Amino acid sequence: MSRVYKNKNKNKVKVALLFIAQVILGVLPVILLLIFIYGEFNIKHKYSAIFFIIGMLACSWGTFVISRRYNILLSGLSGEKQLLKTAKKIKGNWLIFSNVPVHYKKNRSELDLFLLSEKGIIIVEVKNHSGIISGHYSDPSWHQKKIYRDGKVTDNLFYNPLRQMKLQREILKSILRKNGIDIWIDSVLIFSSDNANLKLTLRNNDYVYNNVNQLLSFVKAYQPKRLLSADEIKTISNIIKNLD
């Protein structure tokens, strides 16, 4: 039976702090208005008006930026939660680690899921993007197009996850080689949103799915390059547990 080890998700703290920041920025305009009306400002003085206008614009801009970042992180947390729930259904003797921080020299990243068994190592990255996702495996960025019910269309670029996953593999391989272990590592990219329509040009060994449940099928059918020994599994497990 698979065992799950949950690490602390740092994004939860970031989401909480961004929520507090939104509340503060939401209250500030009211405070500024009260000061402007009832304070010692001369309502006819041009500097008082300029101060008030600049303050309101700064609050509006700050709210927009923070709200956007908040929604992105919240969406990511939702996707990771859904992925972990699905991962718990994986059958076999897999060790499953969530939110694993990895760094080697100046390179840093975080693995959403790290799967380990005698079959080898699988890294899982989850994205909660919705809409039409298009791009080429070699592109620096991929394209997200969302069409809303009212006819509004938004277009955004986001960093190619395949490049992110390549960096993750390189970091992890460097860590393992430092400890005398040299093995193959596979990566899987999951788009967890039910509204994700993938139009991607991929290679045969780019494992990209638009449903978290497809992870179960992938792991079940996974064919290793070679089987890991019990000692190798224990060593790798200890390395992952001690990463911070």
Break the chain into its structural domains and give their ranges. 3-7+77-241, 15-67
Cβ burial, residue 189 (10 Å; 0-12/13-18/19+): buried
Residue pair 131/158 in contact (Cβ under 8 Å)? The answer is no
Q: Residue 47's pLDDT band (boundaries 50, 70, 90)?
A: low
The 10s digit of each residue's pLDDT in 154-201 is 899 999 999 999 999 999 999 999 999 999 999 999 998 888 999 999
Q: Residue 57's pLDDT band (boundaries 50, 70, 90)?
A: confident
Both tokens of 70, joined, read 């908040």
- How confident is the prediction for the chain on average, in pLDDT? 83
The mean pLDDT of 57-72, rounded to a whole number, is 74
**Which segment of 18-32, 98-112, 141-155, 219-233 scores lowest on mean pLDDT?**
18-32
The 10s digit of each residue's pLDDT in 76-110 is 666 667 777 777 788 888 999 988 999 888 888 98
Residue located via tokens 């019910």: 149
Contacts of 89 (CB under 8 A, 6+ apart): 216
- Closest alpha carbon to 111 in 194, 10, 229: 10
Cβ burial, residue 102 (10 Å; 0-12/13-18/19+): buried
Both tokens of 159, joined, read 């960093």
**Which segment of 15-19, 58-62, 158-162 scores lowest on mean pLDDT?**
15-19
Both tokens of 192, joined, read 């967890």
Residue pair 73/10 in contact (Cβ under 8 Å)? The answer is no
Cα–Cα distance for residue pair 101/121, rounded to 1 Å: 16
Using the predicted structure, report yes or no on whether residue 238 has a pLDDT greater than 60: yes
The 10s digit of each residue's pLDDT in 212-237 is 788 888 998 998 888 999 999 999 99
SS3 readout for 154-204: EEEEEECHHHHHHHHHHHHHHHHHHCCCCCCEEEEEEECCCCEEEEEECCC
Provide the greatest CA pair distance for the chain: 80
Cα–Cα distance for residue pair 40/182, rounded to 1 Å: 71
Residue pair 155/144 in contact (Cβ under 8 Å)? The answer is yes
Tell me, what amino acid is at 113?
A: L
Across the beta sheet with 120-127, the strand order is: 3-6, 95-104, 107-117, 120-127, 185-191, 207-209
Contacts of 231 (CB under 8 A, 6+ apart): none
**Which segment of 10-19, 21-30, 159-168 scores lowest on mean pLDDT?**
10-19
